[in-house]
Amino acid sequence: MENGAPPGDEARKFSGVQAGTSGAIVSHSTANKSKDAGNTGGGAVRRFVRQQVPDDILHNDQLNEAIAVLPANYNFEIHKTVWRLRQAGARTVALQFPEGLQMYACAIADILETFAGVEHTLVMGDVTYGACCIDDFSASALGADFLVHYGHSCLVPVDVTGLPCLYVFVDIAVDVDHLVATIKLNFKDPGTKLVLAGGWCGFLVLGRAVGSTSAVLT
């Protein structure tokens, strides 16, 4: 242990910028809030903003009509993404999807090019070690000035990535009442023991639904 660092600190994979940026990770749960670190200088894309999504984006009829093409129970946070890209002044945006969401990539790319002032969108088809690993190196090599990462993530701090990034977790809403009714219809014995299981990646986006279902059944 050096320089008086607390135990375990030396094992951290990402240390980030030390001066006042410890709160720089953008939380997907606060849809309209993020930190503002100002301009990066030299006309570079801004990394953080601290403003709510304005009404002219939230209530834009054409934008909402375009969003309606996407599944209603998938939260791609399009309004926040449009606002973030406008604020950043991003022109070439890389979109990184896990394989299960790539079918929506072209529709989202069209929306961002139409409403966010984006000139070019790059849909990244290759994953890194896993879908959770942000591929900022490839995005930078492709000439992108902003990266939007969709799906579950290991949340590499955005102040250490090679370019400004936005994490969109894509929460998937499940009709818990219908799911519970279906389970009760097929398992009539109240003493039946059930296991609600799935891959850990799916659990991250469906975790709340699984928890709610378990609570109702027990």
Number of domains into which the chain is organized: 2
Residues 185 and 107 in one domain: no
Residues 202 and 122 in one domain: no
List the structure tokens of 204.
């991250």
Residues 162 and 180 in one domain: no
d(CA 87, CA 70): 24
The answer to the question of residue 93 being in a domain is yes
Domain residue limits at 145: 9-172
Residues 93 and 122 in one domain: yes
Helix (H) or strand (E) holding 167: strand 165-168
Residues 87 and 164 in one domain: yes
For the chain, count helices (H), then strands (E). Answer: 7, 6
Residue where a domain terminates, one of 155, 172, 189: 172
Residues 186 and 211 in one domain: yes
pLDDT at res. 30: 38
Pick from 84-88, 96-100, 179-183: least confident:
179-183
Q: Which of the four pLDDT bands, split at 50, 70 and 90, describes residue 151?
A: confident
CATH number, domain containing residue 107: 3.40.50.11840
Per-residue pLDDT, averaged over 66-79, amounts to 95
Q: Which amino acid is at 45?
A: V
Residues 160 and 189 in one domain: no
Residues 129 and 85 in one domain: yes
Outline where 76-175 has alpha helix (H): 78-88, 105-115, 136-141
Q: What number of other Cβ atoms are within 10 A of residue 9's Cβ? A: 12
pLDDT at res. 116: 97
- Under DSSP, is residue 177 helix (H, G, I), strand (E, B) or coil? helix
Per-residue pLDDT, averaged over 69-78, amounts to 94
Q: Which amino acid is at 63?
A: L
List the structure tokens of 49.
């903003």
Per-residue pLDDT, averaged over 155-164, amounts to 87
152 backbone φψ class: left, alpha, beta (φ>0; ψ -120 to 50): beta
The answer to the question of residue 50 being in a domain is yes
Residues 74 and 165 in one domain: yes
User: 200-217 and 176-186 are packed helices; what angle lies between their axes, rounded to 10 degrees?
Assistant: 70
Distances from the Cα of 136 to the Cα of 14, 82, 89, 92, 163, angstroms: 14, 20, 18, 13, 7
Q: Which of the four pLDDT bands, split at 50, 70 and 90, describes residue 148?
A: very high
Would the pLDDT of 17 be above 50? no
